[in-house]
Structure 1
Amino acid sequence: MLCCVICVFWSFNECFLSNSCTCLQINRVICKRNPEDLAILYSNRAASYLKDGNCGECVKDCNMSLELSQFNVKSLLRRAAAYEALERYRQAYVDYKTALQIDCNIAAAHDGTNRMTKALTETDGPSWREKLPPIPTVPLSVKEKLAQMSAGNATQPSPTPQQNGTTQTKKPAPSDKEIKKAQALKEEGNALVKKGEHKKAIEKYSQSLKHNPTEVTTYTNRALCYLSVKQYRDAIRDCDEALVIDSNNVKALYRRAQAHKELKVRARVFIIALQLLIPTQLFILQSTQEDDESQYYIIDQS
């Protein structure tokens, strides 16, 4: 008897499970008719969608949350991040600016506003502000209420380092000489990407990171290259590294979700193809889970 074992790695969609649980929780809250709790649940599910790269559903849930709680900061920031990933920069700018009206100390909102300003200047020119949707005015009463809530949580750390469950750790700062060398190599990599030479670009980005392992954009750029050459696990690792440095990095979140999605689709297609070839001799056995991934063995017994 011959036994041919083929290993297939399946990306476990943790967001799907969390979304299912949240749906049940939302139904319970609807029965109780508790708008504030429901707004929080919609916002939490939106975070799940954003992490999974499902930006359209994230926007929908944030809209629902903001209808119930108009100036929910987390919903505004999550919707802004989703809009940014969808390249809807005007809407993203409005949400980032609204969040800053509520709390002018939100680093993610400041960074987002700066990114959107740059993107809109490039796309719409000097008159880009004239094309913006209206920016809501946050009432003083809302600001005072949120300030009181913040005072009660004064011992809590800033939300930015802990967003998405990631604790930031500082890597040793490179010297000026190392930073310049890393920047030059990164720019060479960027030029190769524009030519479509992604494998060569990966080499340049890897060399750059040896000189400056703290540069987030180098990780996200290399992750993009890994996606292009279908090295999805390497893309995920680079996104994880980027998120350790900047846990709110939209590109890292989005590209990691893309990589997980591709792994999942490829595994499904492979299994379906084998079922068509050997439908009576196919067995799928689940083994241990590592790093949120389930390993499957497809065994052809004869």
Structure 2
Amino acid sequence: MAASPGALRRAGNEEFRRGQYGPAAALYTRALQQLEASGDAAAEERSVLLANRAACHLKDGACSLCVADCTSALELAPFGIKPLLRRAAAYEALERYPLAYVDYKTALQVDCSVQAAHDGVNSVLYPFTLFPDQTAAGIERARTLKEEGNELVKKGNHKKAVEKYSESLKLNQECATYTNRALCYLTLKQYKDAAQDCTEALKLDPKNVKALYRRAQAFKELKDYKSSISDIKSLLKTEPKNTAALRLLQELNRA
């Protein structure tokens, strides 16, 4: 009988405590795949697993993977302290000090007693001054603009949302903003623009599921079926049970 996601998570925690970060990450990945395969939408549990795997990546020095997992964790459970701190530490290691600063400050807004966040803010303040073109205020403004774009999407105003996302991207090139704008471009039938945005997102996060899926959609509409199939197959390596991707692959094979 296969181990449950909970059992895999506990086994992963034990490996992590022993300093076996690669095996721990593999166990967390198996737990995530099981939740995906069963259709279990337990956002909080998936967020914890992603944050745990992010800690493994951080320990192994895979900072970009840590950032990607923390971002996914925060999408599922916003304002989680652990993913905020781990992403901040990864950004700091990547010398993306303004982004680290914002995450540390956000963690303090959630819980002002977190000493690691206080220490983090102080540790990035000096190198922060070396990047005058990217300020914390600019990063926060970019996030506000992205959220305004998200609200416009909910209202069906995709053209105006594109403007908000474009303003946001001038201040901070973030994967989610690119994939959000790509969704708008798909709705507006601007398929080349959608594909380009997904490509930019994949430069930041090479395994991003939304970027791969939306670029595959764009390529399909552009009748570039080979590239579309390639993106779907790449996506399925990360999420083999992704029903939307499997459905699109069936359509492409019939095309």
Query: Could you say which TM-score interval applies, normalised by the shorter chain?
Result: 0.3 to 0.5
| Structure with larger Rg | 1
Higher strand share: 1
> Which has a greater percent of helix?
2
Q: Structure with the greater relative contact order (CA < 8 A, sep ≥ 6): 1 or 2?
A: 1
TM-score (norm 2): 0.45
